[in-house]
A and B are shown apart, each in its own frame.
Chain A
């Protein structure tokens, strides 16, 4: 089991460029989440999905879009990157059920110049 994987690991963008971050999990988890982590801010939820074909907004969704076309994949898109989106992005997944923890991927470090 690879667990939760994220691609790419690093990326540098120019302001206005677009990109997609891919999260994949092989644990057959229903729930998937995208977070960003900034110094002094902890992890903040961007978007999440409670199942294939569903998405919902989290705490900081502006400037991002997501899709969950397949159960194992959760894509995070930046349509027009801004320097404020420079961050480390983590994906997580969770099995259905109240007492299951979220498993995190290794993160993607994104810099927007």
Chain B
């Protein structure tokens, strides 16, 4: 059975802090790993990672994948209150592009 585990489950930080969110996985037929941000409603796409060691970056967010150790991290620097959300990690497997999601990390950024 495919499994994706995220840690920590929740996190409270002050604005300006840097956070690291973790995602480890055990799946068969790995294709890629995706990060999504979920505020009140639909998850919105952040990154897709397919190759080890190549950092993806978008503004203050960055992510990297380690296919040997089967994990990924999502970094957010200089956090803002608008970063408060649940961050979901998902692994894509097989030919139908099915996603297996972790339970998410709830991030709260306070003033």
Contacts and interface: CB of A to CB of B under 8 A. Distances in A.
Nearest to A100: B97
Contacts of B48: 99, 101
B107 interface: no
Interface residues of A, number: 27
Interface in A76-113: 90, 94, 98-107
Contacts of B34: 101-102
A56 interface: yes
B99 A102 contact: yes
A107 B101 contact: no
Interface stretch (B14-22, B38-46, B66-74): B38-46
Contacts, number: 56
Contacts of B50: 99
Interface string A28-44: 00010101000011111
Secondary structure type dominating chain B contacts: strand
A26 to B, nearest CB: 15
Contact of B96 (A4, A31, A44, A105): A31
B42 A50 contact: no
Given A43-B43, A59-B100, 6 more contacts: A4-B42, A43-B101, A98-B31, A98-B97, A99-B32, A107-B41
